[in-house]
Structure 1
């Protein structure tokens, strides 16, 4: 296949990043070689344009990228939002107030177009989670209500997130959706929004003859992996993700993205990754 008609979309955490939270030199060099050969590389992540840059420093990106788990399509070259969706704030804000009271240890991140508002108490903040989601500001809920909400991230104990999820199912089913991006992260998104929904928009931009390869490692990647022309599960992905994928790569700690690119450039992807 003509490399100029291929886009590789990579999830970030657990896929492009190794377990130490960094992009390996081998991955960075492989991405640059892929672009120089005529390919298109973009990311598809739950992170937003305001806090992903610190994690992908030195990574060449020349394709529109999916951010906020599908709530935004962003052009890193032009620093331009190409498309975005917003949450129904009124009903969701009522749920947020309940979470603040019932689960003070849950960190509540509200992403607006330019800011990540933390509307939970700073005294309960987990330092590791806090450092992984910068820049962010501690705000009152009323401040966040002055802007559109792109995504809400709830971070904390999985057992508490499961209890919150039950409440969301009983009160907000059919008005928005939610997905786990890690055991400690429950993300609330606009209804119908996923990485897969923005993948369709990418097809419209590039044309139906364009081939999209997507790689990911967790449940928020599942729909994208299924929707891509060729979906790849990383070696560190849960079995359910691997079963849904067209192929399986090595893990994120084995330079998985470089492994995928090498297979694409040698026209051996299906042979190497195929199940």
Structure 2
């Protein structure tokens, strides 16, 4: 792991790693991130959230590199509010999947993110409402056929048991080979463009910045961060991560997300850099 901060790109998952939906960003994380970037470190996020939600969740924090948004479907530069790279779903195949799920799971919430990550709610439920509130997302209630082109992902949202059943159901269905299902959270199952993930987003970001991917540090908390953690040069798991995620990490923080795990790690990183 490089200890030259100006050569160190830290890529951090957001939910339950950097912040919690209810409590927000721990104050120590905010303070240490600002100090880390002032000392020349590069810090950004890799998240399922669209740009609007990233901005709302991190007021006052300047990301020093473009963000990996919508689980890798968007690379977004907040310095000039520009999408640098966009990957999209096969709309026909995604539509087939959505219609089938809506027929067989009548209480399942359905969201489509399109364009720059704008959220179109095709079918609302308690979970989609909580998604909008917790992640400070604007949304448009919209029939499926009226959602604009440029779909970057689909989110199915419900209670954990319903999502478990949906995940099992979709494993035995075929909707075409250009998209894939990703279990990103206990209450969400997503459809993503084939070959697109946080890990592919990291590779694309490193190519864009001219950075060696093996000099990156990745911080995560959940199973959907594992590919990203394997792709980077050094993997960090927060203390609240499942055992399998901790086992895949090079380092596990003492603090949980809500206790300031990211700040803990970055502070330790800065101390090591100062000792060189």
TM-score above 0.5: yes
Using the TM superposition, give the Cα deviation of residue 163 of structure 1 relative to its aligned residue in structure 2, in angstroms. 3.1
2:59 to 57, 60, 85: 57
2:133 to 105, 113, 131: 131
Structure 2 unaligned spans of 5+: none
Structure 1 position 175 matched with structure 2 position 185: no
Structure 1 position 41 matched with structure 2 position 43: yes
TM-score normalized by the length of structure 1: 0.90
Using the TM superposition, give the Cα deviation of residue 7 of structure 1 relative to its aligned residue in structure 2, in angstroms. 1.0
SS of match in other structure, 1:74? strand
Structure 1 position 193 matched with structure 2 position 199: no
Using the TM superposition, give the Cα deviation of residue 10 of structure 1 relative to its aligned residue in structure 2, in angstroms. 1.0
Match of 2:115 in 1: 113
Match of 1:30 in 2: 32
**Aligned partners of 1:19 and 1:252 also within 8 Å:** no
Structure 1 position 238 matched with structure 2 position 239: no
Match of 1:14 in 2: 16
Paired with 1:240 and 1:80, the residues of 2 have a C-alpha distance of 36
Structure 1 unaligned spans of 5+: 269-275
Q: Deviations over 1:23-73 (max 9, x none)?
A: 122111101101110011101100011222221112221111100111111
Residue-pair matches, total: 265
TM-score normalized by the length of structure 2: 0.90
For the aligned residue pairs, the C-alpha RMSD in angstroms reads 1.8
Paired with 1:173 and 1:217, the residues of 2 have a C-alpha distance of 31
SS of match in other structure, 2:54? coil
**Aligned partners of 1:199 and 1:224 also within 8 Å:** yes
Using the TM superposition, give the Cα deviation of residue 104 of structure 1 relative to its aligned residue in structure 2, in angstroms. 2.4
**Aligned partners of 2:23 and 2:258 also within 8 Å:** no
* 1:140-179 aligned within 5 A: 140-144=143-147, 146-169=148-171, 170-172=173-175, 174-179=177-182
**Aligned partners of 1:217 and 1:236 also within 8 Å:** yes
SS of match in other structure, 2:33? helix
Using the TM superposition, give the Cα deviation of residue 187 of structure 1 relative to its aligned residue in structure 2, in angstroms. 1.6
Paired with 1:156 and 1:38, the residues of 2 have a C-alpha distance of 42
**Aligned partners of 1:233 and 1:242 also within 8 Å:** yes
* 1:71-82 aligned within 5 A: 71-82=73-84
Using the TM superposition, give the Cα deviation of residue 160 of structure 1 relative to its aligned residue in structure 2, in angstroms. 2.5
**Aligned partners of 1:179 and 1:219 also within 8 Å:** no
**Aligned partners of 1:69 and 1:220 also within 8 Å:** no
